[in-house]
Each structure stands twice: as C-alpha cells, then as structure tokens.
Amino acid sequence: MADIIIAKARPAHAGRKFANSYVALETAMPCSRISLRAAPDIAPKLAKPLGLKLPGLPKISVTKKDRTALWLGPDEWMVVDDDANAAAELIAALDGYDCSCVDISHRNMAVLGSGPGIESLLSAGCPQDLSIKSFPTGACSRTLFGKVEIVLWRYEEDAFRIEVWRSFSDYLWAYFLDAAKDTGN
C-alpha cells in the first residue's frame, strides 16, 4: 500500500530573514487583509462595524488594537488585521453597507523592514521621499519598488511594513538583499 503524504501549507517565504548592522528584514506573520471600496460619504458609517475609523486623507493610517486601515485612494482602503482569520468576520460585519470588500489575504504577503538604514534600502527602489519629514510615522502609500507595486506603511520611525503581491515577492526579496549590500555606506 502506498504511503499517504499530506502537504502542509506555509505562508510565502515563511521564516525568511536577513539582518546586518543597518537593516533587518523578515517575512511578516500571516494576517487578514481586505480591500475596501466605499464612497467618502459612506466611510464614516463603516467605523462601527470595522472597529476603527477609516482615514480620510492621503498617506494616513489608523490603528486600533491589532487592526489598521491604510488610505490608498479617495474611496479605497486596505484593512489589515493581525488575526489571520479575521477577514470573514470583517466582510460579514460590512454586509448591508454600500461598499465593496474583498478578502485579499492570500494575494499579498508582507515584509517587515527596520533599522537605521531601512530608509536608504527602500530608497534604492522607491521613487518617493521617505524621509521622516515627508513620510512620518503612520504614513502609508501605494507606490513602486523597482518594477512592482507595493503598499508601504511606516509604523515606527525606523520600521516599515511592505505589502506585495505574492507573485512578485521573490523579485522584491532579491532586490532588498541586493540593496542591503549598499545600505549604511
């Protein structure tokens, strides 16, 4: 009789890490993400079911406990929750509201980058001014890194969360490692 082998699902790049004296990079733990679209006049009504207020200005994020809403456009937000099973709960809570919400938890993966050289590393592939004055703590943006679209969120002065589609994650990770060679010089 043949042996039965069951494959275990792992998050993209599970356990992948890099560190030098200037930057540290690691794959974020799995989480829930929803893409939320709603007219600006509807957004305030979504605060109660979401458990947090949606930011109404460009480059702003709002965090409450383990949930963050990132402003991506006048009618678009990414809601990230540390609970990997929260997406269904979020979508159910928004049922009946005039909005669109889609679970994108498995489409994306995230890299956490930190350290005194993280701005320099990200500037190697991102055209935005990432200085603390122009991109302060709490700032977020959909932008480019190299040839791929990312969502960049500065959650601490020297720490960023970089959201990327899983299909581009190998490219992003390789670019980060190459940029890290020059970081801190």
What one-character-per-residue DSSP string does 30-53 give? Answer: P-EEEEEEE-TTTGGGGHHHHTSP
Domains identified in the chain, total number: 2
Residues 45 and 96 in one domain: yes
Query: Which pLDDT does position 3 carry in this prediction?
Result: 75
Query: Can you give the pTM of this predicted structure?
Result: 0.91
Q: Which of 74, 104, 134 is the last residue of a domain?
A: 104
> How much is the pLDDT for 40?
93
What single DSSP character describes residue 60? B
The alpha carbon of 88 is separated from its chain's Cα centroid by a whole number of angstroms, namely 18
Two structure tokens written together for 9:
């699902």
Query: Which H helix or E strand runs over 177?
Result: helix 169-180
Domain end point (choices 75, 104, 133): 104
pLDDT of residue 183: 72
The secondary structure of the chain in percent helix, strand, coil, rounded to multiples of 5, reads: 20, 35, 45
pLDDT in tens, the chain (185 residues): 567 666 565 666 778 999 999 999 999 999 999 999 999 999 999 999 999 999 999 999 999 999 999 999 999 999 999 999 999 999 999 999 999 999 999 999 999 999 999 999 999 999 999 999 999 999 999 999 999 999 999 999 999 999 999 999 999 999 999 999 877 55
Q: Are residues 111 and 37 in the same domain?
A: no
Task: State the pLDDT at residue 6.
Answer: 62
Domain extent for 74: 31-104
Q: Which of 25, 27, 28 is nearest to 114 (CA)?
A: 25
Does residue 69 sit in helix, strand or coil? Answer: strand
Distance of CA 125 to the CA centre of its chain: 17
